A and B are shown apart, each in its own frame.
Chain A
Amino acid sequence: MSQNSQHSQVEIEEFVREQVEAMGADAAGISTGATLEEMGLDSLDVVELSQGVRKELGIQVRPNDFAEVKSLADALQVIYERAGCS
Chain B
Amino acid sequence: MTGRVVVTGMGVVSALGVGAQALHERAVAGDSGLDDGVGRCDSFDWRGVLTRREAHRTDRFCQFAIVAADEALDQAGWGDQPPYAPERVGCVIGSAIGGIATIESQIEALRRDGPEYVSPLSVPMLMANAAAAQLAIRYQFRGEASSIVAACSGGAQAIGAGLRAIRTGEADAVVVGGAEAALTPFTEAIFLSAGALSPTGRSVPFDQKRDGFLLGEGAAVLVLESADAAERRGAVVLGEVLGYGATTDAYHLTSPEPNASLAAKAVSLALADAQLPAADIDYINAHGTGTVLNDLAETRALRTALGEALTSTPISSSKSYLGHLLGAAGAVEAVATLQALRHRTAPPTHGLTEPDERLGPLTHVVRAASLPAREGGSVGLSTSFGFGGHNVALLLRAVS
Contact = CB atoms under 8 A, between A and B. Distances in A.
A48 B106 CA distance: 13
Interface string B180-206: 000000000000000000000000000
B120 A44 contact: yes
B113 A40 contact: no
Interface string B41-66: 00000000001111111000000000
Contacts of A69: none
Nearest to A63: B120
A85 interface: no
B52 A24 contact: yes
A22 interface: yes
A51 B117 contact: yes
B119 interface: yes
Interface string A34-64: 0000001000100110010011000000000
A29 to B, nearest CB: 11
Contacts of A22: 56
Given A44-B120, A44-B121, A48-B119, A24 B113 contact: no
Contact of B57 (A24, A54, A55): A24
A25 B55 CA distance: 12
Given A22-B56, A23-B53, A55 B117 contact: yes
Contacts of B54: 24
Nearest to B118: A51
Interface residues of B, number: 14
A28 to B, nearest CB: 13
Interface residues of A, number: 11
Nearest to A25: B53
Contact of A23 (B56, B113, B116, B117): B56
Given A24-B54, A24-B56, A24-B57, A47 B120 contact: yes
Nearest to B123: A44
Given A24-B52, A24-B54, A24-B56, A51 B116 contact: yes
With most chain A CB atoms within 10 A of its CB, the pick from B54, B55, B121 is B121
B346 to A, nearest CB: 43
Contacts of A47: 120
Given A24-B51, A48-B120, A48-B121, A55 B113 contact: yes
Nearest to A55: B117
A24 B120 contact: no
Interface in B4-58: 51-57
B389 to A, nearest CB: 38
B49 to A, nearest CB: 14
Contact of A24 (B55, B116, B117, B124): B55
Contacts of A24: 51-57
A73 to B, nearest CB: 22
Interface in A1-48: 22-25, 40, 44, 47-48
Nearest to A48: B120
A54 B113 CA distance: 11
Contacts of A54: 116-117
Nearest to A21: B52
Contacts of A48: 119-121
With most chain A CB atoms within 10 A of its CB, the pick from B55, B113, B116, B124 is B116
Nearest to A41: B53
Contacts of B57: 24
Interface of A: 22-25, 40, 44, 47-48, 51, 54-55
Given A25-B53, A51-B120, A55-B117, 7 more contacts: A22-B56, A24-B53, A40-B53, A44-B121, A47-B120, A51-B116, A55-B113
16 contacts: A23-B53, A23-B56, A24-B51, A24-B53, A24-B54, A24-B56, A25-B53, A40-B53, A44-B124, A47-B120, A48-B119, A48-B121, A51-B116, A51-B117, A54-B116, A54-B117
4 closest A-B pairs (Cβ-Cβ)?
A24-B53, A47-B120, A24-B56, A44-B120
Interface of B: 51-57, 113, 116-117, 119-121, 124
